[in-house]
Amino acid sequence: MDTLIIEDEPFAQKELKRLLAEAIPTITILDCIDSVEDSVLWFNRNDHPDLVFMDIQLADGLSFEIFNEVKIKSPVIFTTAFDQYAIQAFKVNSIDYLLKPIEPDALKAALNKLETLKNQYGGSNSSAISQNQLEKILKLSKIRREYKSRLVVKIGDQIKFIKTKDIAYFYAEDNEVFISSSDKRNFIIDYSLNQLSEMLDSNYFFRINRTYIVSIDSIHKIHKFFNSRLKIELEPARNDDILISRVKVPEFMAWIEK
């Protein structure tokens, strides 16, 4: 069985490979991809596999954005850290959703479900995701816990909190995640950008790429860039080019018009 893994956490990639090798010794892992943009490129350049494992939160956004760019012909099993009770509501669908950390028995059950569907429908792609299912999952992806109004940072031996309304943006650099405040101060924070994406109010914060989460108030200028991308200038200013991929542009434009 040719299988593609779309997952941005190296440990999760490795663990899923191990579990799949135990469950199906003859399985072939074609590739491991960690972003929406690279996933779209892969599907456009390769024959679609027998099965796709797809994390919901990727390095540059939600994996559902992939479906806006390419018609995936493969069955998809989502892996996610979303709330377990919300996940259970979708167990009746032909696509399965595995809660992280993935349990071997849950993985085997999902693979058995896929095999059963193939036998019932003569190997058709009836187990591939439908537009109706995608819309339901997109609604699920918008379910949020109470948004953070403050975040804790450490400064030497002191502990300080910063109000989210005073944060211009978050950025990842040298294996650390930083807060850049509106008064031009930077602080290290003990959360990943993926975790922050789930904590912050999406009306005011947006994950523009794998390196930045920005507030709407931090966006100083937006420029058209080659290959249908956008380049943005932030305040406080950064020295690096901050780009939004072609895949991400429609979602970004919808966000700034909220």
Q: What CATH architecture is 2-141?
A: 3-Layer(aba) Sandwich (3.40)
Single-letter residue type at 186: N
pLDDT in tens, 24-50: 999 999 999 999 999 999 999 999 999
Q: Could you read off the pLDDT of 230-256 as tens digits, one per residue?
A: 999 999 999 999 999 888 898 899 899
CA quadruple 82, 84, 86, 87: dihedral sign = positive
Q: Domain 150-256's class?
A: mainly beta
Residue 19 tokens read as 């579990």
C-alpha closest to that of 137 among 97, 177, 184, 85: 97
Give CA–CA dist 51/53, Å, rounded: 7
Domain ranges of the chain: 2-141, 150-256
d(CA 44, CA 156): 49
C-alpha 257/C-alpha 222 separation (Å) is 13
pTM over 0.75: no
User: How many distinct helices (H) and strands (E) make up the chain?
Assistant: 8, 17
Residue partners of 257: CB distance under 8 A and separation at least 6 = none
pLDDT category, 85, cuts 50, 70, 90?
very low
